[in-house]
Amino acid sequence: MSRKEIEEGGLAGDTTRSLFFVSLALYRLDKMTNVQELTIQKQVVTLTSGRDTHWCVSVSCTNQGNFCVFDFLTIIVVIVRCVCPCVSSSRPRYKLHYFKARGRAEVTRLVFKAAGVPFVDETFTMGEWPNLKPSMPTGSVPVLEMGGDMFPESGAIVRWAARKFGLAGKSDAEQLRVEEVLAGADDIRDLFLSWFFKSDPQVKTEVEEQMKQKACGFLGRWEDQARETRSSQRVYTYMVGTSLTAADLTLFDILEQLSSVPSIDLSSYPKLQNIRATVASLTPIKSYLQTRPSYPF
């Protein structure tokens, strides 16, 4: 591990305590003549029960010099600061601003939950929105707050989070397929939200018919593309590849929304229903759904 890597890993917490410990660690590593190499490797594994992170740490030493207890503690400090840069702060780094609704923010919530990344879910009512609107960059939500900056646009947020947390697909083809599902779901969601808020019965019926045609076109295509992955215990269905991606989380959300539309028969899409069941069975998603408020849309 190089000095630069130690500095970058140690300062990620951005606190005075981080700076002190990393400076101390760098000083001691310079003085340790018997430590040839300190290697820290990270491996993220996607499991059927969710995502897990494994760290492999190895220290290569020579027989020269005295390896004192303080040197050992220094290595522990470096490992903790590099492997767990947020150990000095219990506050989540991310805050998501949106209405008390699933709407355009739910897929982002699902991505964070599936990845096991803590965030603040800052929700508010429609009545509170007029006072909050001027503080949002484009006067709309969702907005992701990160490092003091505010980032709008639901599509941009979801795509960034999927890439950041390893849920955007493994190959170029998989990534493009994930993008296709996200874009198609956005088209359906636009019509769904328009339909949901329509009060005129005739207009509502017209929008519902448009939504049905659009949704059934996408759902039929996705039904053909979905693939089953068998394990010793059960069959898992994924939209892209053989592991969880943002496409599966997006389908889970859009199927939840469409289940409230009377004219759309979701039983015609058994593979997509299996994807919905696969996502709901993941431990972090299951825990989230058990405590999630009952939102109208």
Domains of the chain: 3-83 (no CATH), 94-291 (1.20.1050.130)
Tokens read off for 93? 């780094």
How many other β-carbons are positioned within 10 Å of the β-carbon of residue 117? Answer: 16
For residue 68, what pLDDT is reported?
Answer: 60
Q: Share the mean pLDDT of the chain.
A: 80
Write out pLDDT tens, residues 53-91: 444 444 455 445 555 655 556 666 555 555 454 444 456
For residue 229, what pLDDT is reported?
Answer: 78
Which single residue is written with the structure tokens 């593979």? 271
For residue 237, what pLDDT is reported?
Answer: 87
For residue 180, is it left (φ>0), alpha (ψ between -120 and 50) or beta?
A: alpha
pLDDT at residue 29 above 80?
no
Write out pLDDT tens, residues 251-261: 999 999 999 99
pLDDT bin (cut points 50, 70, 90) of residue 230 is confident
pLDDT at residue 102 above 90?
yes
- Interior/surface letters 180-198, b for 16+ CB within 10 angstroms, e for the rest: bbbebbbebbebbbebbee
